[in-house]
Chains A and B, each alone.
Chain A
Amino acid sequence: MFHPPVFHKVLIANRGEIALRILRACREMGVLSVAVHSTADANAMHVRLADESICIGPPAASESYLNAAAILTAATICNAEAIHPGYGFLAENADFAAMVEEHGIAFIGPAPEHIRLMGDKVAAKRVCREAGIPVVPGSDGPVESEDQARAVADDIGYPVLVKAAAGGGGRGMKVVNGPDELADALSTARSEAVAAFGNGELYLEKYLARPRHIEVQILADLHGNVVHLGERDCSVQRRHQKVVEEAPSPALSPAQRREIGRVATTAVKRFGYRNAGTFEFLYEDGKFYFIEMNTRLQVEHPVTEMVCGLDLVREMLRVASGAPLGYGQKDIKINGHAIECRINAENPETFASSPGRVGDYHAPGGLGVRVDSALYSGYMVPPYYDSMIAKLIVHGNNRNDCRMRLVHALREYVIDGIETTIPLHQRLLEAPRFIAGDYDVHWLEKFVRGEN
């Protein structure tokens, strides 16, 4: 069978560690790389290492890394055949993906229509439910009366969440623990919603008190072949930002993994989705509830790579070029355990950001230790972008070996000159609840407040 060659030259439309991550995959495959960067990143590692680099704008992301016209112009000037968007910035911008394809350049990711569909949270939930993916049960639309709300709540079971249809970011939500609280919650939520959003429409959802965040990685080629690469547990979060991720999840059995993987791959085949993607779920009491689908490479993809022995960026390039996966689900084996710590340039207690010049820099090493970072000694961490400066990913034969190795790797890691969250990771890895794998999405916030 004829396999089209993978691309000759790829433009990396991102910065920081992920730009370097993509560049490394390109190098290993013999693909030329083009770095596009803002003036603030002229001395960035990926810019130094790229085969070509083009400055596309001033420090503000809106005028550089989010500037679709500048990126496409750069791609055209240097004759790039494909663009890898990384994560963040334009990675889930359907219009950008469509523009890239209109220019005859391959977008290393899913089709624009799938990005658009999954970007609409209401439509995404509907198509996923239709494809057999479990979603959070609820009223599936506005509730008109107290009687209707009562019927829905009885059906899905208490506690339930009353949400404003126009709400967001936690506003206009009320937790109802039992039937006697329902009437009050409805009237308060309705008046709050009218005041805050000018729209009193409410709907009901099952309230999950102690959910875990578990997500399933999938990979699909252009020929209908789909595999899942198991799950990642990303429940250790602060302000909805993931802090530590691990694979496999301490909460899932092999049978549960197979089942949610089967459900996810079936849905992906039905959608006709291509390239890498992730189904994010809340998980409580043995049940999965779909939250959203991420149509891109994720920050925490290395934990999956470490346990599957697969290079996800390489696979993304291959399938985007039209190559078939070349392996099936039975070939995917989960080996050992991997944990990733996201290291931010922040004070480990106040979380105030700490940009500045890196002094001495020493990355940990040894068997099973991986550092994905664009830092180097003397590097200036610019204040304009995300505070994540490094990912420390450790693999071990089992969860405890992995954790012990990670504890030591964190001790070896030296990043002088700026404050980092390494001390927070050192503390949380020794917490009894983390050691036991017994945590949910609220655990870290309580831990940081000193509650457990």
Chain B
Amino acid sequence: MTTSSKKPSVNTKIVRELAALLNETGLTEIEYGCGDLRVRVAKTVAPTSVTVAAPTPAAVRSGAAGGEVDAVADHPGLVTSPMVGVVYTSAEPEAPPFVKVGDMVAVGDTILLIEAMKVFNPIKAPHSGRVQQVFVANGTPVEYGEPLMIIE
């Protein structure tokens, strides 16, 4: 598959001619051989549309994240999960939730619990503001980095 020749000087004339031919014909690749000289010129039509032969992500994500979450990935008020675990929205099954949409929270307020290895880790609000959206339901598993809620 070696396409470059080890000749000391580059025959720019051939390359230029082939490059011109490439544009003229609208081809994306020309390989030219003469004796033991081999030249291949190629151009990428649209560098962003590289064909990826690998399968598309078909894996089932364990979390509840869906399409709506992708849209908010860059949201400045987004709070993401710091660990893999199971979300609890209230301190006890019968207790009211820590927060609900429309609530005002201050920095450091507990907004959720995430259970990992039988330890309940309080998730604190990283910034203060109003709860705009909550993406996770009580008892659902979350991945590391999964969106939990938007506080702004």
Contact = CB atoms under 8 A, between A and B. Distances in A.
Contacts of B59: 35, 47-53
Interface string A46-85: 0111111111111000001000011011100110000000
Q: Which secondary structure dominates chain A's binding surface?
A: mixed
Interface stretch (B6-14, B46-54, B89-97, B128-136): B46-54
B54 A55 contact: no
Contacts of A448: none
Most buried by A among B59, B60, B62, B117: B59
Nearest to A413: B1
B145 interface: yes
Nearest to A34: B62
Counting contact residues on chain B (CB < 8 A from A), the size range is: 20 to 34
B84 A414 contact: no
A379 B144 contact: no
Given A39-B144, A70-B144, A55 B84 contact: yes
Interface string A240-275: 000000000000000000000000000000000000
Contact of B62 (A43, A78, A378, A412): A78
A56 B54 contact: no
A78 B50 CA distance: 34
B51 A77 contact: no
Contacts of B86: 77
B123 to A, nearest CB: 15
A89 interface: no
B55 interface: yes
Contact of A55 (B1, B2, B117, B143): B143
A52 B62 contact: yes
B4 interface: no
B1 A411 contact: yes
B56 interface: yes
A36 B62 CA distance: 11
Contacts of B60: 51-53
Nearest to B54: A376
Contacts of B51: 377
A47 B57 contact: yes
A73 B85 contact: yes
A354 B117 CA distance: 37
A171 interface: no
Given A56-B144, A74-B84, A77-B84, A69 B53 contact: no
B144 A378 contact: no
A45 interface: yes
B69 to A, nearest CB: 13
Interface of B: 1-2, 50-62, 83-86, 116-117, 141, 143-146
Interface of A: 35, 38-39, 43, 45, 47-58, 64, 69-70, 72-74, 77-78, 362, 376-379, 411-412, 414
